[in-house]
Structure 1
Amino acid sequence: MKKIKILLILLIFPMFLYSCNGKLPGADARKIPYDPKERVKRNLEQGKGFRLDESFGGGNKSGNFEFASSNPLWRASLDTIDFMPLALANYSGGILSTDWYSEDQNQNEAIKITIRFLSNEVRSDALAIKIFHRKCETVNNCALSEQKGKLKAELTKEILKKAAVYSKETEDKNFRPYNSGGTRDSKS
């Protein structure tokens, strides 16, 4: 038992001595560049990290991203409900949600629309639309219900119709016919 204590002391004692000298490797702030770009460059030169853009994109600064403006369902949905204030627009999460909206004549009733995108393809099952209706007798006494009728069907139809037009426009814009040599003509 006494040998174990001595062994532990001999193993722990050097750690105390090392921590007492006050110098940790890389702890001198004067030797670390202030500019983050310079720190990244220095770390990469020393082999202390890697860059994802070089690993996946060949090192160029530009990428090929599919932004919301290129998704016909997203654009059509925004255009269709543009008269309502948006509470949430999360393209990467695939959801649009409006704030409560009421016409000027009746402030006691309001609707809220939530659109979930289940697919990027323009098809009837690509959207999950929910319409909520709020009817208030007083400020603190409101009843909420989900509407499933005519408005939901009309909204779905209008979004799909606009999305089909946007999709066709994009398709026509990107179409380049083949020339007689079997290669595509260059865009002009």
Structure 2
Amino acid sequence: MTNTGMKGARSAAAALAFAAILGLTACGPSTSNFPGQPTGKGGPNNPTGEQQRESIFGEDGLKLFGGGSSGDDQGSGIGVNSFLWRASLDTIAFMPLASADPFGGVIITDWYQDPKTPGERFKVTVYILDRRLRADGVKVAVFRQTRAENGTGEWVDAAVTMATPMQIENAILVRARQLRISTIEATESR
């Protein structure tokens, strides 16, 4: 290699090393101030006494097995009211579960066919809408299908009476109330 070629290779290596050092120093802590960021040493990842660190689990954090007694009807630290959640699972326990999301408050069953009525099947979706035990904290959607009469045996969507989802909602609320009362009685007897 000639003398000029070696100088070119050295300057290319020096430029590459300089770029690497410049890139690594850019990854260091920032002293910039952004709107909503307190001045001084704190930042979103290093909070000061002025600013609390934000969490994806909310102000109280994640509580899986209960927690402090805040005096409300929240139950455990799942995303919805624990009494409504448990009551929903108890009420539709005879149906096979397809999905259950305790943080989003959605329970979806698979199709259930009652042995007494082989020509129809049902599917239920329960939405728990609140962290408090309230009458409007649960919503139920019921889907019904019947066998086609054309002899193909295919399932066809069918209408559901408006009373059916309301009856399931009422059963869930009654069971949630029973669970809450039994929890209160258990804590008072200690």
TM-score bracket for the superposition, by shorter chain length: 0.5 to 0.7
Relative to 1, partners in 2 of residues 1:106 and 1:165: Cα closer, same or farther, differing over 3 Å? closer
Q: How many matched pairs?
A: 138
Equivalent residue of 2:136, what SS? helix
Q: Indicate yes or no: 2:115 matched with 1:116.
A: no
**2:81/2:133 contact within 8 Å kept:** no
Hey, what does 1:163 align to over in structure 2? 176
Match status 1:127 vs 2:124: no
* Structure 1 counterpart SS, 2:95: coil
Identity %: 25
Is the CA contact (8 Å cut-off) linking 2:79 and 2:104 kept in structure 1? no
Query: Cα 1:131–1:20, aligned 2, differ >3 Å: closer, same or farther?
Result: same
Instruction: Tell me which residue corresponds to 1:17.
Output: 14
Does the CA-based 8 Å contact 1:131-1:146 persist in structure 2?
no
Secondary structure of 1:135's aligned partner: strand
The residue identity in structure 2 corresponding to 1:96 is I
1:87 correspondence with 2:98: yes
**What one-letter code is carried by the residue in structure 2 that aligns with 1:170?**
T
The answer to which of 86-95 and 99-108 deviates more is: 99-108
Provide Cα deviations, 1:65-93, integer angstroms capped at 9, x if missing partner: 61489711111110111010011111111
Once the two structures are superposed, residues 80-127 of structure 1 have per-residue CA deviations (whole angstroms, 9 ceiling, x without a partner) of 110100111111111111100002344431001111111133332111
Change (3 A) 1:115 1:146: farther
Q: Is the 8 A contact 1:132 1:147 kept in 2?
A: yes
Does the alignment pair 1:150 with 2:181? no
Q: Separation in 2 of the partners of 1:14 and 1:128?
A: 70
Q: Name the amino acid aligned to 1:132.
A: F
Alignment partners' CA distance in 1, 2:81 and 2:94: 21
Task: Provide the secondary structure at the position in 2 that maps to 1:147.
Answer: coil
| Unpaired runs of at least 5, structure 1 | 1-12, 28-48, 177-187
Match of 2:111 among 100, 104, 107: 100
TM-score with structure 2 setting the length: 0.56
Please report the RMSD computed on the Cα atoms of aligned residues, expressed in angstroms.
Answer: 3.9
CA contact (8 A) 1:113 1:130 kept: yes
Counterpart-to-counterpart distance in 2, 1:170 and 1:15: 73
Q: Distance in 2 between matches of 1:145 and 1:15?
A: 74
Question: Whose helix proportion is higher, 1 or 2?
Answer: 1
- Given the two structures, how large is their TM-score scaled by the length of structure 1? 0.56
